[in-house]
Structure 1
Amino acid sequence: MDILVFAIEDGRFGPARFPQMLHNAGLSVAALCPSDNILAQSAFLDAQHVLPRSRHIRSIAKALAAAIKAAPPKLIIPGDEQAVILLQAFAKGRCASLIGPEARAVIAASLGDPRMFAASLFKSDTIALARTLGISVPQSVTVASVGEAHRAGERMGYPVYLKQSFSWAGLGVAKCDDAKALRAACKAARPRGMMVRRLVRRVLGRDWYPAVTAMDVQSGIAGSTAMFSVLAWQGRLIGGLCGVRLAKIHPYGPSTSVRLGHDRSMADAVGKMVAALGLTGFASFDFMVPDDGSEPVLIECNPRPVPVHHLGRHIGVDLAAAFARVLNGEIQPGEPLFPDRNLDVVLFPHALDRALHLEGGILDMPDEDPGLIRHVANRTSAKGTDRPARLAA
């Protein structure tokens, strides 16, 4: 087996598109995920392994070890943050009695430098690393109490954002227009009974999930949200594409449509981060593009697939084909692969919703993988047949 995609959370659409993307590049793909996960609905899987409902770390370790043993993959692609943090734990030796040295070696090879695991996943550490590399980042302070947060807010000037270091899809982010709002956000991020919850998680074998992480007070930036999604190999940037947000679900949530293309400033910053993190595989970095025309500001790193990775081939940067060449040991070009044109896209599954269509935009619809469409339609009753030009999956 070439690739094992490991996913836990439902509602993540980036990994769902990878089986077809990798299949089209000539790679074999297996999945380890819950049976009701959208990834499991893909028709392009060569093998499927069911992740048990239990979130006890030993149950997950057994399932992962069995999937690796059944058809040893060359690489494992994590589909979401929970999968990332578990793979990192296993790479460091947790559940060593269940995950042997050979399986652990595959896991470790699929991630970045173990010394940089935190910087690839936790927002506080990502910002700190980027700052040392001379990359533009927002004014940000890690705080441990309401008092520290209040002092940071006063120094920066409101509005500010309170961000939990381990969060995704806009969760764990609160805009605070004044000190009262900041205090309320801090209390919501640190509810009472956290010590008891930690103990219960440990007893249930779920202490792998970081229920409490650092909080950052961050200055606001007037501008547009963007991402730079990449393929990396052992700390080398193989290729990537920029996606500037055109529309979104809610202020801090995922994009519904993007303008794909290239941005040299983001590419330069991401190249430095990829090298410092020693990244291998697919990742994406979020930026703010200031309205005043200054350089993009790095916000966070997402060390897993996002819903634009498979779209690169439509703008001259086929990351799946490049991945197949790298995985097979073929020589790569000296310079990273970047787009040579722009394209506006309404992303799947939002393309199913006629209300979210973008004038002049192309719909990203997995027509050749209808199980994905049925999965979303069954859950959301999304309808709409009057669609603009479609983008082949």
Structure 2
Amino acid sequence: MSHGQPRILFVSLSDDIGSERIVCEMGRLGAACAVMSRAGAVAALSSRVSRHHRLPSRGGLWGAALGVGRGLAVLTREWRPDALVPLDDMAAGALRDLATAPRTPSDVRRLLQTSLGDPGHYRTACSRARLIESAAGLGLRTPAQRPARDAAEAEAAAAALGFPLMVKREGTCGGSGVAVARDRAELAAAFRAADRRARAKRILRRLAGFRPDRDDPPITLQAHVAGELAVHTVACARGRVLDGVGFAAELCHPPVTGSSTLLRPLAHPEMEAAAGRLVAALGLSGFASFDFIVSADGAAHLIEMNARPVGSGHLGRRFGHDLYGAWLAGLSGRPAPAAPAAPAAAPPPRAVALFPKEVARDPASRHAAASDVLHDVPWDEPAIVEAYRARVLLLKPDAGPLLARLIGPAREPGAARSRPALFPGEVASSPNPPGW
């Protein structure tokens, strides 16, 4: 590193809920943070952000994506980041495209490849279908799957795999590109919707000037595995896991296909081993999160990977895993710090309610206010808290009473705020839980 503190550039395109938490945590750990995003992105509201490079507003998401290459050239020259971190799946794909594009300046390409890992495996890292094929080739436990280019192939896949089926469209996240088909009628409807959106996306990519999608089928049918959703998220460098933490998703929104809103810590050796083998096989650097279904017999079936950090990675410090501290130490060549242990007066919570997802799932959620559940509000980032209050109230006006109970009345600009205690014995006005 050429600076006294590591300089991390975060790239946000779709402004995923929770993606800002890695920015907040890296800043708390001493990193200088810059964000490249459209105006209004929540990640750019963090008080830890020292520079915000605004992407074009015209042209929506695709117009912003086209501005990433130019922005990287400017920031690599002027701000000199030590590493890049994509905050959503579209950013993860766009950065990998740029890392292998002939037009990308050599200094930007070096930064991208150092930050993301082996470019020979980018295609697999960003493909649902290819990731499962790669995992199966390693002998990992995965569900059976079939590609579906048209309705006839979808019917043939269903005959081979049986119902229920998961219909998965490439290049999507957060459950938006996944549907459950329980019979032929549901399969036909789900496939038509996925195919229509896949075709529209390919047209938009061409109009926006992106390289055309490769010849991989945009839709995959995957056998349904009964069980509980779980995730294992890792920090890694050059194919080696630096630290990782696992969680089981007790609640998702929407159910089955949506993103998690209530998590509990889960130490699962099979998940940990599978993640380590894939990180090594793909030569990953940066962050990745692996989704599993844990069946009733305890077996972990890998179903997806996110080639980016997820909004729960910072929670590792609550449960003995400091992913971001380990990654920052790796950048500077220092030994990884030990994650702080929870003090005796404040034992680790039974579960964690993700803010604002759990309130948005249920405006009367009993979990968000439970005494043994950590409601994961970024108390020292008031601008982020208020931005999410506004988002939730726009969609769920009846969430006002619960939000007022959990985070207090709307904050006036510049006003300070203390927060309620999270656990017995914790001081209510402290900006962070004891020992953090």
TM-score, normalised via structure 2 length: 0.82
Q: CA deviation at 1:73?
A: 0.8
Q: Which of 21, 36, 40 is the aligned partner of 1:36?
A: 40
User: 1:124 and 1:193 mapped to 2: Cα distance?
Assistant: 15
Aligned-partner SS, 2:404: coil
Cα distance in 2 for residues equivalent to 1:131 and 1:223: 19
Partner of 1:188: 193
Q: CA deviation at 1:145?
A: 2.0
Share of identical aligned residues, percent?
A: 29
Match of residue 344 from structure 1 = 351
2:376 maps to 1:364: yes
Preserved CA contact (<8 Å) 1:85 1:209: no
Per-residue CA deviation, residues 131-151 of structure 1 (Å, 9 max, x unaligned), is: 011100011112222112212
Q: CA deviation at 1:129?
A: 0.4
Cα drift, residue 357 of structure 1: 4.1
Q: 1:99-120 CA distances to partner (integer Å, 9 max, x unpaired)?
A: 4211211011111221111211
Residue pair 2:239, 2:283 contacting (<8 A) in 1 also? yes
The equivalent residue for 2:413 is: none
For 1:18-68, what per-residue CA distance to the aligned partner results, in whole angstroms no more than 9, with x for missing partners?
Answer: 222112222111111111111111111122111112434553311222122
Closer, same or farther in 2 for the Cα pair 1:295/1:119, shift >3 Å? same
Cα distance change of structure 1 residues 197 and 29 upon mapping to structure 2, 3 Å threshold: closer
**1:379 match:** 391
In structure 1, the residue matched to 2:422 is 390
The DSSP-based 3-state class of the residue aligned with 2:325 is: helix
Q: Deviations over 1:61-85 (max 9, x none)?
A: 1122212222111110001111111
The 3-state SS of whatever aligns with 1:312 is helix
Any residues of structure 2 matched to 1:187-206 within 5 Å, and which?
Answer: 187-191=192-196, 194=199, 198-199=202-203, 201-206=205-210
Match of 2:321 among 293, 313, 317: 317
In structure 2, the gaps of 5 or more residues are 1-5, 343-347, 394-398, 407-419, 424-431
Q: Is the 8 A contact 1:5 1:78 kept in 2?
A: yes
Answer yes or no: is the 8 Å Cα contact 2:317–2:340 preserved in 1.
no
Structure 1 partner of 2:285: 280
| SS in structure 2 of the partner of residue 231 of structure 1 | strand
Determine if the alignment matches structure 1 residue 134 to structure 2 residue 139.
yes
Q: Could you tell me how far apart the structure 1 residues matched to 2:168 and 2:421 are?
A: 38
Residue 290 and residue 6 in structure 1: after superposition, are their counterparts in 2 closer, same or farther (change >3 A)? Answer: same
Task: Give 1:1-393 correspondences, 5 Å limit.
Answer: 2-14=7-19, 16-53=20-57, 54=59, 55-56=62-63, 58-94=66-102, 96=103, 99-191=104-196, 194=199, 198-199=202-203, 201-206=205-210, 213-251=217-255, 252-291=257-296, 293-331=297-335, 343-350=350-357, 355-358=364-367, 359=370, 360-381=372-393, 382-383=399-400, 384-387=403-406, 389-390=421-422, 392=432
Q: Which amino acid aligns with 1:390?
A: L
**Per-residue Cα deviation, 1:341-377 (whole angstroms, up to 9, x for no partner):** 7741001223556523414211101000111111111
1:211 and 1:125 map into 2 onto residues whose CA distance is 12
Equivalent pair of 1:161/1:219 in contact (CA under 8 Å) = yes
Alpha-carbon shift at residue 166 of structure 1 (Å): 2.3
Could you say what the CA RMSD is over the residues aligned between the two structures, in angstroms? 2.7
Q: Could you tell me which amino acid in structure 1 is paired with residue 381 of structure 2?
A: D
The whole-number CA distance in structure 1 between the counterparts of 2:225 and 2:112 is 37
Q: Which has the higher contact order (CA 8 A, sep 6+)?
A: 1
Q: Secondary structure at the match of 1:227?
A: strand
Say if 1:112 and 1:131 are closer, same or farther in 2 by CA, change over 3 A.
same
The answer to whether the 8 Å contact 1:4/1:75 transfers is yes
What is the CA–CA distance in structure 2 between the aligned matches of 1:142 and 1:116, rounded to whole Å?
20
Q: 1:226 to 1:190 in 2, by over 3 A?
A: same
State whether residues 261 and 339 of structure 1, in contact with CA within 8 Å, keep that contact through their aligned partners in structure 2: no
Change in CA separation of 1:337 and 1:295 when aligned onto 2, cut-off 3 Å: farther
Residue 290 and residue 197 in structure 1: after superposition, are their counterparts in 2 closer, same or farther (change >3 A)?
closer
- 1:17 is displaced (CA, Å) by 1.0
Partner Cα separation in structure 2 for residue 157 and residue 126 of structure 1: 22
The CA distance in 2 between the partners of 1:86 and 1:156, in whole Å, is: 33
Q: Secondary structure at the match of 2:311?
A: coil
CA spacing shift, 1:357–1:170, aligned 2, 3 Å: same
CA apart distance, 1:180: 2.2
Once the two structures are superposed, what CA deviation does each residue of 1:145-174 show, in whole Å capped at 9, x if it has no partner?
211221221222211121113221011212
CA drift of 1:207 comes to 5.2
Distance in 2 of aligned mates of 1:177 and 1:17: 36
Change (3 A) 1:2 1:315: same
Letter paired with 2:378: P
Distance 1:200-1:139 versus aligned 2 partners, 3 A rule: closer
Task: Work out the CA distance in 1 between the residues paired with 2:203 and 2:248.
Answer: 42
Q: Please state how far the C-alpha of 1:211 moved relative to its aligned partner.
A: 12
Q: Could you say what secondary structure the match of 1:311 adopts?
A: helix
